[in-house]
Amino acid sequence: MRLHLTLQNRPGSRLSLNYNYEVSSAVYKILSLADPAFSAWLHDVGYPLEGRKFKLFTISNLRFGEGFRINRQDGTVTLGGRQYLSLSFFVNEAVEKFVAGVFREQCFGIGTKDLPAIDFQIQSVEVEPPPTFGPTMRFRTMSPIVMSRYEEGNRYEQYMSPEEPGYERQFFDNLLNKYESARLAGLVGALPEGGEMKFRLLSQPHKRGVLIKAGTGAMTKVIGYEFEFELAGPVELLRFGYEAGMGLDNPVFGCVGVGR
């Protein structure tokens, strides 16, 4: 299920371009006000598999409406009066109406370091009809896709560009593990056996670093990439990735749209 939110705010407000984590926190807060148990389960439990837990929803970047201005010198954007945000959830039909209703006529604030908080009013919530999926689909990132690997001798994970060797394997390993966590929860059936899975990069990837918990002792920097790509594989898997998110660190990252 995919929701498109139209947001209203005071024109001229300044927002750090490093806002993705703050937006995800606001989404969790709205869900928590409606159903604390559901929100806590999404945030803390998710769908477990072999010691990992997956959150099967994802959030796009903000799409700035008319009148915005990017301020490269200080990494901020001066906003016009209207912005747009997409939320994508892999949930069963019984939960869809609840989730869509949660966001109607809500408001939330986003505060980033050294800037006053901005109040956003959700003006409208639209449920997007699902696209038609086939065994080969073109996608474009709506928020960065994060992928990483471990290297011997390195303490920390190494973030990967989609141009690197081994990216395709890491990409599908993550997506298949996520799908398996949903299968164990009874949300999907087993994938058909056989068939080829392919990843093809269609554009020059744009690197984007995002600070998580900026300004705190727990601050970390996550590196993702924005690009267009083509996937070939089981229709059920491609549909699942579109709704649940692709790559690591959902819901902050990994929202994709169908390409042209």
* pLDDT tens digits, one per residue of 168-189: 999 999 999 999 999 998 889 9
pLDDT at 151: 76
- Render pLDDT for 8-22 as a digit per residue (tens, 0 to 9): 999 999 999 999 999
Residues 221 and 254 in one domain: yes
| CATH code: domain of residue 32 | 3.30.70.1890
- Alpha-carbon gap, residue 226 to 243, rounded angstroms: 18
Beta-carbon count within 10 A of 73 CB: 6
Answer yes or no: is pLDDT of 66 > 90: yes
Residues 84 and 162 in one domain: no
Answer yes or no: is pLDDT of 104 > 90: no
First to last CA, the chain: 20
pLDDT at 257: 97
| Entry pTM | 0.92
Residues 174 and 207 in one domain: yes
- Alpha-carbon gap, residue 103 to 94, rounded angstroms: 17
Residues 146 and 249 in one domain: yes
- Alpha-carbon gap, residue 159 to 132, rounded angstroms: 32
Higher pLDDT, 94 or 157: 157
Residues 124 and 141 in one domain: no
Answer yes or no: is pLDDT of 208 > 80: yes
**Domain, as residue range, for 25:** 2-128
List the single range of 38-52, 57-71, 219-233 with lowest mean pLDDT.
38-52
Asked if residue 106 lies in contact with residue 32, where contact means CB atoms within 8 angstroms, the answer is no
Residues 7 and 122 in one domain: yes
Residues 79 and 54 in one domain: yes
Higher pLDDT, 144 or 213: 144
Print burial letters for 98-136: b (CB count within 10 Å at least 16), e (below 16): ebbebbeebebebebeeeeebebebeebeeeeeeebeee
pLDDT at 185: 87
pLDDT at 71: 93
Q: Give residue 97's pLDDT band: very low, low, confident or very high (50, 70, 90).
A: confident
- Alpha-carbon gap, residue 72 to 78, rounded angstroms: 11
How many domains in the chain? 2
Answer yes or no: is pLDDT of 3 > 90: yes
Answer yes or no: is pLDDT of 45 > 90: no
Q: Average pLDDT, stretch 202-217?
A: 88
Tokens at residue 5, please?
Answer: 């939110």
Sign of CA dihedral 98, 100, 105, 108: positive
Residues 78 and 174 in one domain: no
| CATH code: domain of residue 167 | 3.30.70.1900
